[in-house]
Structure 1
Amino acid sequence: MLIYEAQHFDLIRHFETTDLNFPSHLHRCFELVFVVDGEMEVIISQRCFHLKTGQFLLILPYEIHSVITNSQSRAKICIFSPDYVPTFQKMIEKSSLENPVFNLSLEAKTLISNVLFSVNSNLLDQKASLYLLVSELMRQTTLIKAQKEPELLHSILTYIQDHFTESISLNSMANTFGYSYHYLSKYFNVNVGTSFVDFLNETRINYACYLLSTTEKNMTEIAYLCGYENIRSFNRNFVKIKLCTPKEYRDTQISMFFDM
């Protein structure tokens, strides 16, 4: 089963791994992998790439990927939202990287590592470093048209991402993409590992969490902004997914902020 990782909006975070092995999964964020020591294999949309010490690799949003360490590896990973690099995100629509593995000069590597893998960097430095990173990457590779099946999955997930705040359904999506309802339902379940309705609700609730943490909008406003037509459906789905009420979630976020 394919794992869908629901990442928050307006997100950038980093972590370190040792001997990483991770099954096939996808998410709406970019994923930057930097091998500090050792070797690993990253499989992206059925293409295998071998990474050695000092090399970088960039995984695009919604690309199905997995990681294998056959011997030993130590790596740093930075996950960042497409919201941080909108110009680049627009460039890569319905495309893949011919070769996502790339190298950086010592100066660029030091700058990017100090910013993207540091807890003290500010937002402007982070965005500047990300654009420097993708600029260096595109000097070393080219864009190719995504394969048919990954392209359909990418198109479906991107469509949901662009329209989840509206009144959308699997039937309306089937009409949009020119497939039968039953085919698209089965395709979605097989490739994403969950139903369209559950995926849509998880996307909406994750956006609600972002709004609860970053704005002072009331619950009714947030429910509407997330695509729900009434507060009852919003509350029911929020509790089902997050195991707490929206108010409890906001109170927890406020408490965490003051404890910092």
Structure 2
Amino acid sequence: MLIYEAHHFDYISNYHTLDLNFPSHLHRGFELLFLVDGEMEVIISQKSYHVNTGQFLLILPYEIHSFITKSHSQAKICIFSPDYVPTFQKMIENSSLEHPVFTLSVEANTLISRKLFKDNSNLLEQKACLYLILSELMNQTSLMKGEKQDPELLHKLLTYIHDHFTESISLRSIAGTLGYSYNYLSKYFNTHISMSFVDFLNETRVNYACYLLTHTEKNMTEIAFLCGYESVRSFNRNFVKIKLCTPKKYREKHPQSFIDLYPFKKEINH
């Protein structure tokens, strides 16, 4: 399962979480996590990192990541646009962090606790805090160079799917719309998403189906077509493949789910 959070693009957002569990997702922004209490496992690009109380972790733009809390965790999360830290963004181009878990000095921690992870804070103070955090991070890790990437293409591609997954779309039609060859886009998608376009499209549609199942009283036929499937049979087959249960069973077992955090932009008529 992979979710693209297109809304994390050009601003800064703060979250306070308790016992956070969230499936694989990615977005354009940096994601800074501070573990206030407990412990958490964070999977970044198929690598597992253990975060303990008092530690920070930084996730780079477009890195696929997920959060797992086995017992208890209380965390603060700040997601911010690369445009907030252009100097650092240029430094990490086509790179990843050797070890994204780090700690702050006492002086930095005191400042950060007062200025960051709060809404309506002074923007200049927030940017200053971010650069201070990044400076301390780079004193504790190093960069690993990777293949040259085109992150803006990834954003355009995933945003297009996010906006049109309820329609009859294919990677070939998207390639024509975006002005790329089908073969190039197919290879690019498999390399950066680590799954096929068809699998990603079906997971996006099924995630939306989960949202409709837990937030509306629409029947299965309505939901199937609202999610972009041309038949109920195809909808049921893909739903069972991904969720390991029928849509009906999912509705019975999940009056609410993690999908509440996924901001679908589709119109729902109750």
**TM-score, length of structure 2 as denominator length:** 0.62
Aligned pairs for 1:25-174 within 5 A? 25-146=25-146, 155-161=149-155, 170-171=175-176, 172-174=179-181
SS of the aligned residue for 1:89 comes to helix
**CA deviation string 1:39-69 (max 9, x = no partner):** 0000000110000000000000000000111
Q: 1:162 to 1:98 in 2, by over 3 A?
A: same
**CA deviation string 1:105-139 (max 9, x = no partner):** 12101211211112342111011111111111001
Question: What percentage of aligned pairs have identical amino acids?
Answer: 61
CA distance in 1, matches of 2:62, 2:197: 13
CA distance in 1, matches of 2:200, 2:94: 17
Q: 1:85 to 1:50 in 2, by over 3 A?
A: same
Q: 1:191 to 1:91 in 2, by over 3 A?
A: farther
* Kept after mapping to 1: 8 A contact 2:115/2:129: yes
User: Which residue number corresponds to residue 231 of structure 2?
Assistant: none
SS of the aligned residue for 2:152 comes to helix
SS of the aligned residue for 1:99 comes to coil
Letter in 1 for 2:77: I
Letter in 1 for 2:76: K
**CA deviation string 1:203-236 (max 9, x = no partner):** xxxxxxxxxxxxxxxxxxxxxxxxxxxxxxxxxx
Gaps of 5+ in 2: 160-173, 191-195, 206-263
More displaced 10-residue stretch of structure 1: 183-192 or 87-96: 183-192
* Kept after mapping to 2: 8 A contact 1:170/1:185: no
Q: 1:84 to 1:188 in 2, by over 3 A?
A: farther
* Kept after mapping to 1: 8 A contact 2:175/2:181: yes
Q: 1:170 to 1:104 in 2, by over 3 A?
A: same
SS of the aligned residue for 1:128 comes to helix
Aligned pairs for 1:188-227 within 5 A? 188-190=197-199
Residue 19 of structure 1 and its aligned partner are, at CA, apart by 0.7
Letter in 2 for 1:33: L
Residue 90 of structure 1 and its aligned partner are, at CA, apart by 1.3
User: Which residue number corresponds to residue 11 of structure 2?
Assistant: 11
**CA deviation string 1:47-100 (max 9, x = no partner):** 100000000000000000001111111111111111101111111111110000
Residue 182 of structure 1 and its aligned partner are, at CA, apart by 5.1
Q: 1:174 to 1:101 in 2, by over 3 A?
A: farther
CA distance in 2, matches of 1:41, 1:162: 30
CA distance in 2, matches of 1:118, 1:184: 37
Q: 1:26 to 1:8 in 2, by over 3 A?
A: closer
Letter in 1 for 2:104: L
SS of the aligned residue for 1:130 comes to helix
* Kept after mapping to 2: 8 A contact 1:13/1:79: yes
CA distance in 2, matches of 1:185, 1:131: 32
SS of the aligned residue for 1:88 comes to helix
Q: 1:124 to 1:48 in 2, by over 3 A?
A: same
**CA deviation string 1:119-175 (max 9, x = no partner):** 3421110111111111110010000023xxxx58xx3543354899xxxx6254348
Q: 1:162 to 1:85 in 2, by over 3 A?
A: farther
Letter in 1 for 2:134: V
**TM-score, length of structure 1 as denominator length:** 0.64
Letter in 2 for 1:112: I
Gaps of 5+ in 1: 196-239, 245-260
Letter in 1 for 2:133: L
Residue 8 of structure 1 and its aligned partner are, at CA, apart by 4.4
Letter in 1 for 2:127: K
